[in-house]
Amino acid sequence: MSGGHPDGRAIAGGRQQRLRSDPHPRVLTIAGSDSGGGAGIQADLKTCQELGVFGMTALTAVTAQNSLGVQAIFPLSVEAVETQLISVLDDMGADVVKTGMLLESAIIRIVAKTLEDRGIAQLVVDPVLYAKDGSALFRREAIESLKSELLPIASIVTPNIPEACELLELPADTIRTTADMIDAARSLLLLGPQYVLLKGGHLPGESSGSSGSSDAIDVLVGSPASGLHEHLLLRSPRIITRHTHGTGCTLASAIAAFLAQGHTVPAAAGKAKRFVTAAIAEAVPHGRGIGSLWHAAQRQMIE
């Protein structure tokens, strides 16, 4: 922990929860830029703004990306990432830090070290590995650092099903049902995070009754120390759309925003799920491929 905020708040907050009376809690997102505006840093900042928290950024890479896929990745240097982190954390501080596309192990290591040195309050790790078109957003050597350096200090990690399989070194088709998701989420807990939210967007969907419609189900599990002993299923109607670019980034940054406001991890995950569902329902079909979420949808749809 390095010093304090000018108004007396802890810079990175130790483990205490924010007071809800803070009108502008701070979220720092460490992620890649998506020129298409739907995922990455852009999705994170839109989410922060919509949820009334102050968003700050440390860029890891610039991607040339649109609804059709990822055309190019331009990584930033480790020094560039570290310098951004120090600039933000040593002056403005952060109540919650969220990571997205980290690309390579050298960046993961410097992120973990910088956050640990400053006693980060709460860390949301979205272990971004692939874009919606299947393009890799990481170097394979990064997986080991993700597991050994970042997951042990995470408050919550939010893999999708392919990412969970990569982290657990399982064949890609291993997780096929909600029961498989619960098992995988519990295995991921052994890597050290306090909570795992395994996202079910990639499952075909389970029926929600006589209507024959299906649900998008995410599984939340917690370590013994978290006090969450049973798994929780976060369930929403599955929206029939192909425009889902940015769902993972949006969900994780919404969790970060709700944590910054002082919610517990299970409450933040439930509220974030409602936020992302609303944003998918109003997705924007710009481009010829996979359109992006409309982050302002919650203005109409969430109480």
Ligand X SMILES: Nc1ncnc2c1ncn2[C@@H]1O[C@H](COP(=O)(O)OP(=O)(O)OP(=O)(O)O)[C@@H](O)[C@H]1O
Ligand Y SMILES: Cc1ncc(COP(=O)(O)O)c(N)n1
Site residues (CB under 6 A) for ligand Y, limited to 143-172: none
β pairing state of 69-75 and 54-66: antiparallel
One of 66, 236, 253, 292 touching ligand X (CB under 6 A): 236
- Residue 238 binds which entry of ligand Y, ligand X, none, CB below 5-8 Å type-dependent: ligand X
Phi, psi angle pair for 274, to nearest 5°: -65, -40
The answer to whether 249 contacts ligand Y (rule: CB under 6 A) is yes
Residue 277 interacting partner from ligand Y, ligand X, none (CB closer than 5 to 8 Å by kind): ligand X
For residue 86, the Cα-to-chain-centroid distance in whole angstroms is 21
Active site residues: 199, 244, 246-249
Residue 9: count other Cβ atoms within 10 Å of its Cβ: 17
Contacts of residue 39, Cβ cutoff 8 Å, sequence gap at least 6: 65, 131, 245, 246, 248, 249, 292
For residue 140, what are the CA distances in angstroms to 67, 105, 143, 252? 25, 9, 6, 22
Dihedral Cα 274, 278, 280, 285, nearest 10 deg: -160
* Residue 202's binding partner out of ligand Y, ligand X, none, with CB under 5 to 8 Å set by partner kind: ligand X
26/245 with CB nearer ligand X: 245
What x/- string results for residues 170 through 209 when contact with ligand Y is judged by CB under 6 A?
----------------------------------------
- Our CB check for ligand X shows the closer of 273 and 295 to be 273
Distances (CA, A) of 179 to 20, 95, 174: 36, 34, 11
Measured at the alpha carbon of residue 17, what is the angle toward residues 129 and 250, in degrees to the nearest 5? 30
Identify which of residues 12 and 216 has a Cβ nearer to ligand Y in the complex. 216
Q: Applying CB under 6 A, which of residues 25, 26, 29, 32 lies at the interface with ligand Y? A: 32
The DSSP code for 149 is I
| Binding of ligand X by 265 (CB under 6 A) | no
Output the smallest distance, CB 19 to ligand Y, in A.
30
Q: Which of residues 94-133 bind ligand Y (CB under 6 A)?
A: 100-101, 128, 131-132
Q: How many residues bind ligand Y (CB under 6 A)?
A: 18
Out of ligand Y, ligand X, none, what residue 40 binds, judged by CB under 5 to 8 A for its kind, is: ligand Y
Separation between Cα atoms, residue 231 and residue 182, nearest integer Å: 7
CA 169 to chain centre: 21
238 binds ligand X (CB under 6 A): yes
Q: Report CA torsion sign: 121, 232, 271, 19.
A: negative
Cα–Cα distance for residue pair 2/119, rounded to 1 Å:
8
Does 160 help bind ligand X (rule: CB under 6 A)?
yes
Residue 100 contact among ligand Y, ligand X, none, beta carbon within 5 to 8 Å by kind: ligand Y
Under rule CB under 6 A, residue 291 binds ligand Y: no
Is 88:12 a contact under the CB 8 Å cutoff?
Answer: no
**Binding to ligand Y, residues 38-67 (CB under 6 A):** 39-40, 63, 65
CB atoms within 10 A of CB 20: 10
> Contact residues for ligand Y (CB under 6 A)?
31-32, 34, 39-40, 63, 65, 100-101, 128, 131-132, 137, 245-249
Using CB under 6 A as the criterion, which residues of the chain lie in contact with ligand X when the complex forms?
132, 160, 199-202, 216, 218, 236, 238-239, 241, 244-248, 251, 273, 276-277, 280
